[in-house]
Amino acid sequence: MPKVRVAIIGLGSWGECHLEAFRSLPQVEVVAICDAREELVRQLGEAYSIPDVYTNADELLNRDDVDLVSVVTYEDSHYDPTMKALQSGKHVFVEKPVATNFRESTAMWQTAKEQGRLLVPGHVLRFDPQYAEAHHMLQSGRLGKPVSIYLRRARPRALFETYQRTHTVFELTVNDLDIAIWYAGSEVKSVKAYGRSVMGADVPDLVWACLEFANGALAVIENHWLTPNEANIMMADSVEVVAEQGIIGFEVQHAGLQTWSGQGRDTSALHIHLNRNGRVSGALKEELGYLCDCILSGEDPVQTSIGDAIQGIKVAEAIIESIRTGREIKL
């Protein structure tokens, strides 16, 4: 069976999930991993029996026996490894946000087109059955056109200690922007947004964004990092799409497994990535497996869209500008 030869750059908390997911796919061989943290990458290389480990991405990218590079570095450091991987003829899967500015994201796309390589954005929610089924239902036309999209993403305060390294719009909101653009099937025309820094950090921990699409649809996105840690609710996310002839939606926080014990409540997020005794499941495995199938068959990965992801980056910049100026921003 032909295999896709994969290398992963960035083996932090999400990069290790990539490693587990890729290793569980029969059509994939993970040939190399790279992280700037030497001890971490050596330990993971041993634990997962990866033949080659690197601390320098350039050395890895000099290899000509890699088909696909997965870039899972910090949010603002996707550009260098992605550009070098594309320029050396490799397909690239780049985690969200594709970049933290529009200029870098368009340069990456331009290079992918020039090189004839795939550049696929890591918007895993398109492979989450509930988000994907809502899109499928909207596409079927049974509910008519979407007119109002409400998306909410809320995370515990403790996570903000790490992720305030990036603007909330690039950490949380880009996920919802990709979904809103996918569901609306149209371009964003204008943005009015509000941000608050409740815990006093340099970047807002609470963001509201109102979007108007060229086809008339409206969207409201609510994101925050203000769920009390003690509530033990990892994801308090919601979706509601009002269409001309019906409404579709779900609440992630009520859909998962709950455990109430002497230690309090635990709400595990089982649908994105789960590894139980080496058996991996979830939307991330679906997403990476789909891409590798497309590479092997030569089909277009139409469930993903680098164009939508890059439009999301443009809208993210407009949201930040609207929060800063208090004005509506036309795109």
Ligand X SMILES: NC(=O)c1ccc[n+]([C@@H]2O[C@H](COP(=O)([O-])OP(=O)(O)OC[C@H]3O[C@@H](n4cnc5c(N)ncnc54)[C@H](O)[C@@H]3O)[C@@H](O)[C@H]2O)c1
Q: Are strands 119-122 and 91-95 parallel, antiparallel or unpaired?
A: parallel
Q: Smallest distance, Å, CB 113 to ligand X?
A: 23
Report which DSSP code applies to 201.
-
Contacts of residue 152, defined as CB under 8 A and 6 or more positions apart, other chains included, come to 221, 222, 223, 236, 237, 238, 239
Residue 15 or 289: the one with the smaller Cβ distance to ligand X is: 15
Three-class SS string for 275-297? EECCEEECHHHHHHHHHHHHHHH
Q: If binding is defined by CB under 6 A, does position 50 make contact with ligand X?
A: no
Residue 76 or 187: the one with the smaller Cβ distance to ligand X is: 76
Residue 70 or 143: the one with the smaller Cβ distance to ligand X is: 70
Contacting residue, 91, 96, 152, 224, with ligand X by CB under 6 A: 96
Q: Count residues contacting ligand X (CB under 6 A)? A: 23
Q: Does residue 157 contact residue 226 with C-beta atoms inside 8 Å?
A: yes
Q: Smallest distance, Å, CB 192 to ligand X?
A: 25
CA 72 to chain CA centroid, nearest Å? 10
State the alpha helices, DSSP H only, in 53-101. Answer: 57-61, 79-87
Piece in contact with ligand X (CB under 6 A), picked from 11-19, 82-90, 241-249, 260-268: 11-19
Interface mask (CB under 6 A) for ligand X, residues 27-46, using x and -?
A: -------xxxx---------
Report which DSSP code applies to 172.
I
Contacting residue, 4, 72, 248, 320, with ligand X by CB under 6 A: 72
Q: If binding is defined by CB under 6 A, does position 57 make contact with ligand X?
A: yes
Residue 99 or 149: the one with the smaller Cβ distance to ligand X is: 99
Q: From start to end of 63-204, where are the E strands?
A: 68-71, 91-95, 119-122, 146-156, 188-196
Residues that bind ligand X (CB under 6 A): 9-15, 34-37, 57, 72-75, 77, 81, 95-96, 122, 124, 171
